Amino acid sequence: MSDPVDAEDLVLEEERVLDLVRRHVPGVHRVMSVDETGHRARTYLVDADIVLKTQRQTRIRPETSLAKEVFLLQTLHKESTVSVPMVLGYGNDEGMEYTVMTRMPGFAMRTLDIDDAHRHVALEALGVTLRRIHSLEQQSFVASGHFDGALTENDVNRTLRVSFADAIEVLGATPVGWTFALSPEQVAMRLLEALPDEQDVVVLHANPGPQHTFLHADSSTFSGLIDFGDAYASHPVFDFRPWRSPGDQEKVLSGYTSEAPVNEGFMSTWRASLVLGLFRVAGRKGTADAMPDLARWLAHT
């Protein structure tokens, strides 16, 4: 494979795209569009419902893997009732890794203008999907070789400690407009002290945010979840972080707990992650932007 620094980020000619897809799905006719909105991947829509996905050669990194994504999608189709693309083929052509899969019906949530009621229902459906993914038996992931070592390293609490320290360094010890009796450092300490000694570690989607959450355009209902190429292992709450609004996270949590409850250790970790996100917002935009949500959530500390 070419060195990513020297590789060309070329869009494939239509005939090559069709040739690759026809190796797995005979009878396709034309390339309808090319989607370059993916940061590390490029997708080609073939006919109306087939996608060819390739990694952008200039942006390849070890953490992103089409082989890993194929394994996860096949596992999800076999062992879980979730809506994700179906893998139709996978291969490597002249050093270029590619996947052929079905197109997820609908459109990315970030591209649709929907009202709050439909948004909340969609987020709850996403929460149900994430819980089913996180609840899969993990041994098959360990055995796959795609997550070597990751499932045995319980570094969740350390990650949160380091992240809080970094956020407080940006925020400052006494931020302008901070009206709480406890300092940011004291708030972080209380949240960290409430964490359980042992944390769950499972395979995560990594970024189940509005660009990867699909809705049916006609009804604004949840269609499915795409793009598992960056999947990794850590605590389930880290799959909530792409939804930066606490209100959105609460709706995802509502769906997440609709089929089975979570324990207090989970909730302590979820609250810590949520407040950490608000600290980052305050450090980036100023405390005024985060103050209303911080006031509500600091009541739990």
Q: Which two tokens stand for residue 235?
A: 């605590």
What CATH number labels 107-298?
3.90.1200
Residues with Cβ within 8 Å of 263's Cβ and at least 6 positions away in sequence, in order, are: none
Write down the pLDDT at residue 21. Answer: 98
Lay out the sheet containing 31-35: strands in order across.
31-35, 41-46, 50-55, 96-102, 87-93
User: Which CATH architecture is the domain 14-102 placed in?
Assistant: 2-Layer Sandwich (3.30)
Distance CA 262, CA 277 (A): 21
The answer to whether the beta carbons of residues 58 and 7 sit under 8 Å apart is yes
Domain residue ranges of the chain, discontinuous segments joined by + = 14-102, 107-298
Write down the pLDDT at residue 287. Answer: 87
Write down the pLDDT at residue 256. Answer: 98
Distance CA 88, CA 79 (A): 17
The model carries a pTM of: 0.91
Tens-place pLDDT, residues 60-80 = 555 678 999 999 999 999 988
Write down the pLDDT at residue 40. Answer: 76
Write down the pLDDT at residue 177. Answer: 87
The answer to whether the beta carbons of residues 176 and 283 sit under 8 Å apart is no
Ordered per-residue pLDDT tens for the chain, 301 residues: 444 444 567 899 999 999 999 999 999 999 999 998 766 789 999 999 999 999 876 555 556 789 999 999 999 999 889 999 999 999 999 888 999 999 999 999 999 999 999 999 999 999 999 999 999 998 888 888 887 666 655 689 999 999 999 999 999 988 888 888 899 999 999 999 999 998 989 999 999 999 999 999 999 999 999 999 889 889 999 999 999 899 999 999 999 999 999 999 999 999 999 999 999 999 998 888 888 888 888 776 6
Write down the pLDDT at residue 6. Answer: 46
β-strands 213-215, 50-55 pairing: unpaired
Query: Which residue, 81, 74, 180, is CA-closest to 129?
Result: 81
How far does Cα 58 stand from its chain's mean position?
Answer: 22
